[in-house]
Amino acid sequence: MDLSLSTKDTAFRDEVRRFLDEKLTPELRETGALMTSVYADYETTMTWHKTLYEKGWVAPAWPVEYGGCDWSIAQHYIFSSELSAAGAPSLSPMGLGMCGPVLIGYGTPEQKAFYLPRMLDGSDFWCQGYSEPGSGSDLASLQMSAVDMGDHFLCNGQKIWTTHANYANRIFNLVRTSKEDIPQRGITFLLIDMDTPGVKVEPLIMLSGEHIQNQVFFTDVKVPKANVVGKVGDGWTVAKYLMQFERGGHAYAPGLTTRLNRIRAIAEAERTGDGMKLIDEPDFASKIAAANVEISALEFTEHRIMSALSNGEAPGAESSLLKTRGTEISQRLTELAIEAVAAYAMPYQPHATRPGGPVPGFVAPKGNETPIGPKYSLPVMAKYLNDRAGSIYAGTNEVQRNIMAKAVLGL
């Protein structure tokens, strides 16, 4: 595997850098630097979404005929790396990165023609209805019902941990259309308009204080049968296909590298009690080095997967590997960042950061409207708290290890 950039790839990298220099405004860069979640706030997300859409780069991984880019696998990786290095805020993956690929793979011509353009231009903002109060890691035990009423389904049930459902106008759901001896059977993949009567959204507040997650209740919600993706009762197959993109559909290493470089910069600025630069303190320096080794190993694994993808292979058990290692390294970086900023991590000041959603009930204490501590310290604690969910969402890392043990080791 040749890791050097070709002349074409170098020219592409330079084009991406020119675009980012021109279009990534100071406000967008600041949001990228002060984000406390894996998600940017809705307004920033849609601003950056529109910018990328106008360039034709909002869904580069999609097939060209649906609005994607005719890029090589290497160019996709370059694009991801340059976005991370420049500090660009993230886009919501629910539509572009999850439901979109599923519709391309399993949708009807009518579904593709209607939904895909609206995902691209931002007319539709999606959320994901998978987990339920009693069905998280054991997703196949889900109970939200969809009863066949002839030309439509009547849906009743509840979904939980639904990211940005308070902004979404559409949700893709797993529902139970029949009860079978094998729980994975009888599940259907269903698209629902959030404005449909009977849909109710209630907030869930995270440890970091942010309103990003929600509960969604469905009471006698009528959904046309035309909104089924794939076959009725075969939603588990569709869901497994989607999860490959959710867990391993993007590169972790570029973003982790950028974050590690920020921690290095903090350690250059911070001093130990005896006046030594933190970066020169042997114990901390060894932790930085260990994190760098782990990210490099993950990056080479991503390169190996890129090589397989370039030969037309789909992400399989490797997506579980990337999700597990990517989220665990991410959590380790949040711990290193807290260690680096020390006492500056203690003040709770979300007004000085860029949360992934509103922070209900927070009012800056009188006299503390001006942030306490250096700018680089402001998002550190909130990011640590938010990132605790990383090893749980998209299937817990314990479940991912079971998948790898079965698919790779045959256990």
Q: What is the pLDDT of residue 247?
A: 47
Ordered by start, the domain boundaries in the chain are 7-106, 125-242, 244-407
User: pLDDT per residue over 1-56, tens digit each?
Assistant: 455 678 999 999 999 999 999 999 999 999 999 999 988 999 999 999 999 999 99
Identify any residues that bridge with 202 across adjacent strands, giving them in sequence order: 215
Q: Which residue has the tokens 């749980």?
A: 392
DSSP helix/strand/coil, 168? coil
Cα gap 163→127, rounded to integer Å = 6
Considering the domain 244-407 in this protein, what is its CATH number? Answer: 1.20.140.10
Residue 115 to residue 118: CA distance in whole angstroms = 5
Res. 314 pLDDT band, cuts 50 70 90: low
CA distance 388 to 353: 18
Position 310 scores a pLDDT of 60
Question: Is pLDDT above 80 for 93?
Answer: yes
Q: Which CATH class is domain 125-242?
A: mainly beta
Number of H helices, E strands in the chain: 13, 8
CATH architecture of 7-106: Orthogonal Bundle (1.10)
Is residue 248 over pLDDT 50? no
Written as six digits, the tokens of 114 are 């209607």
* The two three-digit tokens of residue 34, written as one number: 């002060």
pLDDT band at 307 (very low <50, low <70, confident <90, very high): low
Q: What is the per-residue pLDDT across 151-195, written as a single tens digit (0 to 9) for each?
A: 999 999 999 999 999 999 999 999 999 998 888 999 999 999 999
Q: Is the pLDDT of residue 143 over 50?
A: yes
Q: Do domains 7-106 and 244-407 have the same CATH topology?
A: no
Encode pLDDT of 105-134 as tens digits: 999 999 999 999 999 999 999 999 999 998
Q: How many Å apart are CA 274 and CA 279, to the nearest integer?
A: 13
Question: Per residue in 67-89, pLDDT tens?
Answer: 999 998 888 889 988 999 999 99
Q: Whole-angstrom distance between the N-terminal and C-terminal Cα of the chain?
A: 30
Kind and range of the H or E element at 172?
strand 170-176
